[in-house]
Amino acid sequence: MSDNEYVKIFTCPKCGKRLSIDASKQFTAGRCPSCKKRIKIPKADGQK
Ligand SMILES: [Zn+2]
Q: How far apart are the first and last CA of the chain?
A: 13
What confidence tens digit (pLDDT) does each residue in 1-26 have? 555 567 888 888 899 999 887 777 76
Tell me how far the alpha carbon of residue 36 lies from the centroid of ligand 1, in angstroms. 6
What are the sequence ranges of the domains in the chain?
A: 7-40
Tell me how far the alpha carbon of residue 3 lies from the centroid of ligand 1, in angstroms. 28
Tell me how far the alpha carbon of residue 23 lies from the centroid of ligand 1, in angstroms. 18
Q: List the beta strands (DSSP E) in 1-48.
A: 7-11, 18-22, 29-31, 38-40
pLDDT value at residue 33: 87
pLDDT value at residue 7: 81
Tell me how far the alpha carbon of residue 15 lies from the centroid of ligand 1, in angstroms. 4
Predicted model pTM: 0.57
